[in-house]
Amino acid sequence: MKLQKYLLSVAFVLVSIPICFGQTESKLVDEFGKMSNDPLQARVFYLMESLYKNNSRGLVALSAPKGNSLARYINERRIEGCLLWMKYDTSYLSYVFAERNDDILVQLWEVPQNAPKPQFNLVAHDYKLTDLSKPVRLSMLNVSDEYCPLRFDMEFYSRFLKANPKINGKIVIYEKTAKKYQKERLKYLRELTLKEKVSPKQINFARGKYEGVSDAEFWLIPAKKQ
């Protein structure tokens, strides 16, 4: 009888080993390159539902093609926009910046409780854009990006300006009257210089052609090469 119980115990342990290992290993859920909002939302939704179901945590590994390190920050903020749009708990996900892996820009990982996180060759999350070679519109207020809108605010914008003294910010404001334009201009100038501590020399403004809707564009402008 004792031998039988022993054999049953051994069998149970042997059967349980794969299950235990499976529960303590990180799993690559998805990986993809450039993607529009609808399919991005679907992939983030699938990941988050799996995390909730299994009481796991998620890890997002972001890489970028050569010459476009800004892509890491944009994808990070788009995924955060997905979470906010769908009212998910943002604390379930953490992010790492990784060196480029072919054309894969985003990897979504599920990390069970007490499981080690996957390892990457990390890139500093310091907002430095040494490879920015042409003007980039970072955001526009009235772009109707449903499902995964870029999570944009003045703090995010200012981080690039403070980390890159040779990059200027250009804000194009679309208002019906000069008075409203000046009001918006002063609002952004105060927030960036007084609250976010950006140098006034890095901020330029322009009034765009008003076409029935108030709006604003936020650009990053690299210094001209000598």
Fold topology of 136-221: 60s Ribosomal Protein L30; Chain: A; (3.30.1330)
Q: Where are the domains of the chain?
A: 23-111, 136-221
Q: Give 8-18 pLDDT, tens digit per residue.
A: 333 333 333 33
* Lowest mean pLDDT segment, chosen from 2-6, 101-105, 147-151: 2-6
Residue given tokens 């927030």 in the structure block: 191
Spatial contact of 51 and 127, defined as CB atoms under 8 Å apart: no
Q: Give 73-121 pLDDT, tens digit per residue.
A: 999 999 999 999 999 999 999 999 999 766 779 999 999 998 999 999 9
Q: What is the C-alpha to C-alpha distance for residues 164 and 157, in angstroms, rounded to an integer?
A: 11
Q: Does the domain formed by 23-111 have CATH 3.40.710.10?
A: no
Distances (CA, A) of 168 to 25, 70, 154, 165, 223: 45, 15, 14, 8, 7
Q: Give 22-65 pLDDT, tens digit per residue.
A: 457 999 999 999 888 889 999 999 999 999 999 999 999 999 98
Q: What is the pLDDT of residue 23?
A: 54
Torsion of Cα atoms, 26 then 29 then 30 then 36, to 10°: -120
Q: Are 23-111 and 136-221 in the same CATH fold?
A: yes
| 3-state secondary structure string across 17-56 | HHHHHHHCCCEEEEEECCCCHHHHHHHHHHHHHHHHHHCC
Name the residue among 222, 34, 65, 225 with its Cα closest to residue 136: 222
Using 50, 70 and 90 to split pLDDT, how confident is the model at 20? very low
Q: What is the C-alpha to C-alpha distance for residues 201 and 51, in angstroms, rounded to an integer?
A: 45
Q: What are phi and psi of 85, to 5 degrees?
A: -60, -40
Q: What is the pLDDT of residue 145?
A: 63
